[in-house]
């Protein structure tokens, strides 16, 4: 944290800063734990385009029961949030708790797929123009939109882009319309779930929109976030439709894979190509 930001933090919090240290994470920006003279703590996130993240956290806090950090201040370059304890593993108890929390989040619905404003995922633009059909929204504003971002950044080969466009034209073979739009976290992996003493204390770094609940479920399998205990508990609350694990999970994984291609390139391209090989033959 540069010295000129310390007065900002003190101004926005009304407290005297006595210490700070870097925290892990922060692939988009730098993250610090800020300590105050009265013993309080906040997390400061620095980087470009942070205002949408603050807006999403405020919205989740106001409209859902999903635990998220309280936002103290947000602007384009600085996000201040109350410190939430975490650091424990997603053990069985935490996974059961996460299942209840996500099932409740997914019970929130809207008149369309999308959102009333655009957001971000991993600092990347995420369009949310409302659409009446899930297939159209997923194809145009998730799959093709992120593939084009990755192609423009020089991280997705043109031949792979051709395959994505061919797959996009055939999605109706495997994807059915859900009964209703569901509010999703949008970036659901273990690094964005804080756990303490067998309970989820907060979900962080949201990329919210109204889509298909299976997007969160699929995303969680990308890095092995949840196991059988989570999916069994979730399924008891909201039954998981047939063929999710065998078919749709891999299709929906294309979006986070493409996000990682855009951000990091390299090894994630192979993951995209494996999905294309399976569905295009």
SS3 annotation, the chain = CCHHHHHHHHHHHCCCEEEEEECCCCCCCEEEEEEECCCCEEEEEECCCCHHHHHHHHHHHHHCCCCCCCEEEECCCEEEEECCCCCCCCCHHHHHHHHHHHHHHHCCCCCCEECCCCEEECCEEECCCCECCHHHHHHHHHHHHHHHHHHHCCCCCHHHHHHHHHHHCCHHHCCCCCCCCEEECCCCCHHHEEEECCEEEEECCCCCEEECCHHHHHHHCCCCCCCHHHHHHHHHHCCCCCCHHHHHHHHHHHHHHHHHHHHHCCHHHHHHHHHHHHHHC
Digit-by-digit pLDDT tens for the chain (281 residues) are: 566 778 889 999 999 999 888 887 656 678 999 999 988 999 999 988 899 999 999 999 999 999 999 999 999 889 999 999 999 999 999 999 999 999 999 999 999 999 999 999 999 999 999 999 999 999 999 999 999 999 999 999 999 999 999 999 999 999 999 999 999 999 999 999 999 999 999 999 999 999 999 999 999 999 999 999 999 999 999 999 999 999 999 999 999 999 999 999 988 999 999 999 999 98
Residue 211: domain span: 92-280
Are both 38 and 147 inside the same structural domain? no
Q: In total, how many domains does the chain have?
A: 2
Are both 121 and 237 inside the same structural domain? yes
Are both 124 and 249 inside the same structural domain? yes
- CATH code of the domain covering residue 143: 3.90.1200.10
Look at residues 51, 82, 113 and tell me which one is the last residue of a structural domain.
82
Domain-embedded: residue 87? no
Look at residues 42, 60, 82 and tell me which one is the last residue of a structural domain.
82
Are both 42 and 165 inside the same structural domain? no
Q: Give the catalytic positions in this structure.
A: 187
Are both 134 and 260 inside the same structural domain? yes
Domain-embedded: residue 215? yes
- Entry pTM: 0.95
């Amino acid at each position: 944290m540069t010295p000129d930001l310390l007065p900002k933090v003190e101004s926005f919090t009304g407290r005297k800063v006595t210490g700070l240290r870097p925290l892990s994470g922060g692939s988009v920006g730098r993250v610090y734990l800020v300590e105050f003279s009265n013993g309080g703590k906040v997390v400061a996130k620095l980087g470009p385009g942070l205002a949408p993240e603050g807006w999403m956290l405020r919205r989740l806090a106001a409209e859902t029961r999903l635990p998220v950090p309280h936002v103290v201040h947000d602007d384009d370059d600085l996000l201040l949030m109350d410190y939430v304890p975490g650091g424990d593993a997603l053990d069985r108890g935490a996974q059961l708790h996460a299942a209840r929390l996500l099932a409740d989040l997914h019970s929130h619905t809207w008149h369309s797929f999308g959102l009333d404003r655009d957001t971000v995922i991993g600092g990347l633009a995420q369009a949310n123009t409302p659409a009446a059909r899930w297939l159209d929204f997923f194809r145009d504003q998730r799959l093709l939109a992120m593939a084009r971002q990755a192609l423009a950044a020089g991280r997705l080969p043109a031949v792979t882009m051709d395959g994505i466009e061919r797959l996009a034209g055939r999605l109706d073979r495997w994807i059915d319309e859900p009964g209703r739009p569901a509010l999703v976290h949008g970036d659901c992996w273990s690094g964005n779930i804080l756990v303490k003493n067998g309970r989820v204390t907060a979900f962080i770094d949201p990329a919210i929109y109204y889509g298909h609940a299976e997007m969160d479920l699929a995303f969680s399998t990308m890095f092995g976030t949840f196991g059988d205990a989570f999916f069994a508990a979730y399924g008891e609350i909201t039954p998981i439709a047939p063929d999710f694990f065998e078919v749709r999970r891999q299709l929906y994984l294309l979006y986070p894979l493409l996000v990682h291609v855009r951000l990091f390139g390299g090894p994630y391209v192979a993951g995209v190509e494996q999905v294309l090989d399976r569905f295009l033959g």
